[in-house]
Amino acid sequence: MSKVLVIDTSLRPLDPIHPAQARQLLRNGKAAIFRRFPFTLILKQARPETSVQPLRIKIDPGAKKTGIAIVNDITGIVVFAAELQHRGFAIRESLTSRRQLRRSRRNRKTRYRQPRFDNRKRSNGWLAPSLMSRIHNIETWVKKLIQLVPITAMSQELVRFDTQLMQNPDIQGKEYQQGTLAGYETREYLLEKFGRKCAYCDKQDLPLQIEHIAPRAKGGSNRISNLALSCEKCNLKKGTKDIKEFLKKDPVRLKKIEAQAKKPLADTAAVNAARFKLLEVLKSTGLPVETGSGGLTKFNRTRQNLEKTHWIDAAVVGKSTPEKLIISCVKPLSIQAVGHGSRQSCRTNKYGFPSRHVPREKIHFGFQTGDIVKAVVKTGKKVGTYVGKVAVRSSGSFNISTKNGLVQGISHKFCKRIHAKHGYSYAV
């Protein structure tokens, strides 16, 4: 079990506690549940000011999932971990669908008018809605956690590789191979440069080796411009042959690899606009933000023999990572961004024809679709206790999707909300 978050009577975050201690507090009536996700207690009695241990929130932003970890830099304990699943594709799809509906409606209803498609401007630093949604998701969660945990610093993975480390001319050939930080940075760089495939046969998803374009045996250097990635088969086949001789029969590929190898670092350094935007957002919270490279993340993870998951990657981001992370008791919270529903009040069928009307009112009897409720039914056919997400009806007869399937026709009178809908759903 991960630790349990605690806040005091004036909503200030305290040191997270062990679940056993949390159970005891609840049993003795000294604390109440403040929030289910992430599980947080609130103390019932004010207690004397005590100092709290500073914690660091660490983020590994990904396209589909973002890893979040809260780490104690001094003890190395991972206090809390989560994996946040974004809804990038869902946003793109719903925008496309809206665009198509509007287009067809306009075609049906409007006389011909000349297109005026370039009369809109995008502000500086504009990012696609699907990318912004990821940034907003992370921002929401960082701000949420800052309120519940005594966080004093942040770490974010910013770039895939650190170019400064690689350009260091002191690095010798062996070091590229033997698990040094510079080696990891170089590998990440080459993976990016050669598109994660063998430079000689384009094979993907197999272990790739670092290979010298002009072989060492014939005076080739260890400079990064002389390195390529190849599968074991191609590497053996090439051996100590020069690239010109090896690719005699494939002049097109020869030209391509030579051009690729010579490309200066700055050009290939994958500058990821969304990650830089996220950095800006994190800095705006006022806490110090440390950034790390993907190479460093991988180096830290392999050095400690940790599994590759999103939240572990987050926990090992940056130079501040403790020598030994204690992760044995962590169960990451799995969070899924599901959005806040649609503003459409006229839903369409799959052909785009209006098919049903959605009432403007979203809240019925104090409940909203998406709330997690507990219903204790004592009379009638549906006697039992049901916990799950509720779908509200204006009639007051709700549906609850529980772990064991959908239960229909539960009266609002039996329901008690245990978690308000706020755009995220959870799996434990």
For Zn ion, the binding residues (CB under 5 A) are 198, 200-201, 203, 231, 234
Radius of gyration of the chain (CA): 27
Alpha-carbon distance values, 327 to 20, 76, 236, 315 (Å):
18, 9, 40, 9
Least Å from the CB of residue 264 to Zn ion: 25
**Reduced to 3 states, what is the DSSP secondary structure of residue 36?**
coil
- Closer to Zn ion by Cβ: residue 204 or 385: 204
Least Å from the CB of residue 196 to Zn ion: 13
- Closer to Zn ion by Cβ: residue 231 or 372: 231
- The encoded tokens of residue 204 equal 């993907």
Alpha-carbon distance values, 269 to 158, 186, 237, 272 (Å):
12, 12, 30, 9
Pair 148, 13: CB distance under 8 Å: yes
Least Å from the CB of residue 207 to Zn ion: 11
- Paired strand residues for 256: none
- Closer to Zn ion by Cβ: residue 201 or 270: 201
Least Å from the CB of residue 270 to Zn ion: 23
- Closer to Zn ion by Cβ: residue 234 or 390: 234
Least Å from the CB of residue 337 to Zn ion: 39
In DSSP notation, 176-225 reads HHTT-HHHHHHHHHHHHHTTTB-TTT--BSS-EEEEESS-GGGT---SGG
Least Å from the CB of residue 190 to Zn ion: 14
Phi/psi of residue 291, nearest 5 degrees: -115, 150
- Closer to Zn ion by Cβ: residue 254 or 338: 254
Residue 389's CB is within 10 A of a number of other CB atoms, namely: 18
- Closer to Zn ion by Cβ: residue 182 or 234: 234
Nearest-5° Cα angle at 17, 13 to 18: 160
Phi/psi of residue 224, nearest 5 degrees: -65, -25
- Closer to Zn ion by Cβ: residue 165 or 208: 208
Q: Using CB atoms within 10 A of its CB, is residue 140 exposed (0-12), middle (13-18) or buried (19+)?
A: middle
- Paired strand residues for 82: 68, 333
- The encoded tokens of residue 221 equal 């250097």
Least Å from the CB of residue 182 to Zn ion: 25
- The encoded tokens of residue 183 equal 């080696």
- Closer to Zn ion by Cβ: residue 255 or 308: 255
- The encoded tokens of residue 78 equal 């991972």
Least Å from the CB of residue 149 to Zn ion: 47
- Separation CA 179–CA 263 (nearest Å): 25
- Separation CA 157–CA 1 (nearest Å): 26
Least Å from the CB of residue 209 to Zn ion: 10
- Closer to Zn ion by Cβ: residue 14 or 213: 213
